[in-house]
Structure 1
Amino acid sequence: MTEKAGKVLVVLGAGPGLGMSMAHRFGREGFRVALVSRTDRRHEGYRASLTEAGIEAHTYTADVTDAADLKRVLGQITVDLGGYDTVYFGPVSPATLAVVPLTEAGAAELLAPMDNLLTAAATLVGEVVPGMVSRGDGALFFGGGLSGKIPMPMLGNLAPASAALRMYVLTLAEALKDKGVYAATLTIGGLIERGDIHRSFVDRDPSLEGIGTLDPDDIAATAWTMYVDRDRTEAEFGVPVTSAA
């Protein structure tokens, strides 16, 4: 592996909403960017948007919820870019969302989102954290949902997985804080503008357009501040439409 100049941000589960906002925000600070998506359908546009902003961008195709595929793409990014300083993990998309009410969910329905979120996150950590600890530097951001903190019955079997991911990240952050490695969760309590999940909801119900949405640029700006200050391990955005205590 050849060392190359400049820090690298890897966006796992890159989409037009928060993933691209993270890429632009960190890119403005001199980071090179590696975007990883399930398909390459929008990669040309992503690269063009970042290049126009003066940001070096590379795109890769992988299913980051598949352990072998995740390991493969991280290895390729290391070969191409000489490693990475920061990783943003946000692989949830409409294709991975299969909401089953908890009153109807069995073990299989509960475990499916765990595989998409917690298992994939643990695979990521196993791949990247040892190197970060060895260097005494690095950062990990995880996109999570507010249902991991506040009971939100309409999200059914997704809520336990969200809660597990949130606690995993917070505990990981505590375990890493004296090793020079930063971990944090971005806890999202609303639909992110320009994102695929937002678009899928609006396509089903156009009246939702512009209602209660979150600006991904604002979230990415907060993530950058967290990266610099490293004085908190969770930021919460928005409020739930419905919740139960």
Structure 2
Amino acid sequence: MAEDNTNNDQYNADELEAPEWLNAKFITKVLIEYENNPKLKVLDVKNSPATKKADHYASVMFRTSVEYQTEKGKFFKSLIVKAMPEQEGHKKDMLSESHIFETEIGMYAKVLPEFAKIFQEAGDNMKLNANCIYYSLEPRKVLIFEDLLPLDYNPIRNRNATQEEVRCVYAKLAKWHAASLKIQNEQPEFLKEFKYGLFDMPTFVSDPFVTSGMAAFLKLLDE
């Protein structure tokens, strides 16, 4: 397994080195389950930071490039691994007692498939999300997604979004809310478990992010 940590100053410090468990053995288990092929063999795994500084906060994220082999030949797959922070520090302290991963796993495992069913019944095959190919809460909290970069999706950096890009975002957001409302009206018990927000995190209200964040935001607005 190799690490690719070029231009380290662009990335979060806790994402410069992948955890020991993010190795060929673990990825082999994930891909065997996902592809339902016990003969699958991982040949190489390379980990690198998945995002740049300020792109996200409530996890650590790695891009895992995998070369593997089956009876049909050799293949390459790029994955995004999102995990609970393990390094001691502010991020781990803030998130360790939260329900963030339980909520996100529930969304990908339960809610988004139901949204997709609603859209398909209406004749709309739009996708709202990347494919989540693996998730777990034990022995560690982790989600693994199909990487969208090879599919020509890219973060918008150093420019404004175009009118068409903004239209697409709001169109998907509108459909998300419509599906949510339909489920809430017709199956109110379906969403009942999703009741935890940011202010349910034990340390959130006393976190400097909240106690001093507004002052920093107002200063930014002044500028």
Same fold (TM over 0.5): no
Name the structure with the higher helix share: 1
Structure 2-normalised TM-score? 0.27
Structure 1-normalised TM-score? 0.25
Decide which structure has the larger Cα Rg and report it: 2
Comparing both chains, which one has the higher relative contact order based on Cα–Cα distances under 8 Å and sequence gaps of 6 or more?
Answer: 1
